[in-house]
Amino acid sequence: KAGVTQTPRYLIKTRGQQVTLSCSPISGHRSVSWYQQTPGQGLQFLFEYFSETQRNKGNFPGRFSGRQFSNSRSEMNVSTLELGDSALYLCASSVTGVGTEAFFGQGTRLTVV
Amino acid sequence: QKEVEQDPGPLSVPEGAIVSLNCTYSNSAFQYFMWYRQYSRKGPELLMYTYSSGNKEDGRFTAQVDKSSKYISLFIRDSQPSDSATYLCAMRRGGSEKLVFGKGTKLTVNP
C-alpha cells in the first residue's frame, strides 16, 4: 500500500513569491492535515480537510491556505512568502481524522531566500 | 505553559539499554496519545497509538499513559543503533483531528 506522497521534496523561493505544495493521501483516507515543522517551534498544525471541506485551522496568517479535491488529494498555498516561512511542510492522512491514526509523508522542504 | 512538554535531550545510550522517553501535558481533554519516530530529513513515522490511560506493547516498544498525572511514556527495550532518531509525542482531543506535538527528544544509541 502506497504511503502519503508529497511533492515536490525541495523548493527554493524568493521573498514575495507564492508556492503550492501537493499531498496525495493513502488510498481510502479522506482526511488530510498540514503541519509546519521548524527547529524553534516544532510541529505546528496548519489546517485539516475532510471531504473537500476545511474542518479546522491553526493559528497561521491568511497567507496560508489550502484545498482538497474530490479524490482527497490536497494542496497547500503560501502567498507573499517571508523568510520565516522556511520550514519542512508535512502532510498527514487518516481515514476520518477524528480518532484515527495519522500517517505522515516525507515533507516538502521550503527555503525562502 | 505549553500544552505539551517534552525534554529535548539529547539522550545518548549504549546499545542494548532500556530507553525511557516522556511527555507531560496540561490539557485534560486529550484522549488520544501517539509516539512518532523521525529520522533526519524524513517525515514522522507512527510508532504507537493509544486511547485513554493504560499500557500498550508492540515488540520492543511499550507506551504508557497516565491521565491522572497527565504523563505519557515510551519505553524502548534492547535499543539498537537503528533506533537513533528524534522521538515526538503527540496528542489529540476527542472529536478533534488536530495533533499537538512535543518538541521531540533526540536519541542516539551507540554501538
pLDDT tens string B68-96: 999 999 999 999 999 999 999 999 998 88
Best residue in A49, A72, A98, A109 for a mutation probing chain B (most B CBs within 10 Å):
A98
pLDDT at position B52, please? 84
d(CA A3, CA A32): 13
Contact call for B34 and A101, based on CB within 8 A:
yes
pLDDT band at B108 (very low <50, low <70, confident <90, very high): very high
Which chain A residue's Cα is nearest to B44?
A104
- Coil, strand or helix at B84: coil
What percent of chain B stands above pLDDT 70?
Answer: 100
Residue with cell 491568511: A62
pLDDT at position A87, please? 98
Contact call for B43 and A104, based on CB within 8 A:
yes
Contact call for B99 and A99, based on CB within 8 A:
no
d(CA A112, CA A36): 14
d(CA A51, CA A55): 9
pLDDT at position B97, please? 86
Which chain B residue's Cα is nearest to A5?
B43
Q: Give burial (CB, 10 Å; 0-12/13-18/19+) of A20.
A: middle
Best residue in A43, A53, A96 for a mutation probing chain B (most B CBs within 10 Å):
A43
pLDDT at position A1, please? 65
d(CA B46, CA A25): 15
CB B69 within 8 A of CB B11: no
d(CA B42, CA B57): 25
- Coil, strand or helix at A85: helix
Contact call for A33 and B97, based on CB within 8 A:
yes
- Across the interface, of A56, A99, A105, the residue whose CB is closest to B32 is A99
Q: Encode pLDDT of B9-67 as tens digits.
A: 899 999 999 999 999 999 999 999 999 999 998 999 999 999 888 899 999 999 999 99
Q: Cα B7 vs. chain centroid, distance in angstroms? A: 11
pLDDT at position A97, please? 67
pLDDT at position B102, please? 97
Check whether A100 has a pLDDT greater than 90.
no
Contact call for B98 and A98, based on CB within 8 A:
no
Omega within 30 of 0 (cis) for the link into A61: no
> And the C-alpha cell for B83?
533506533
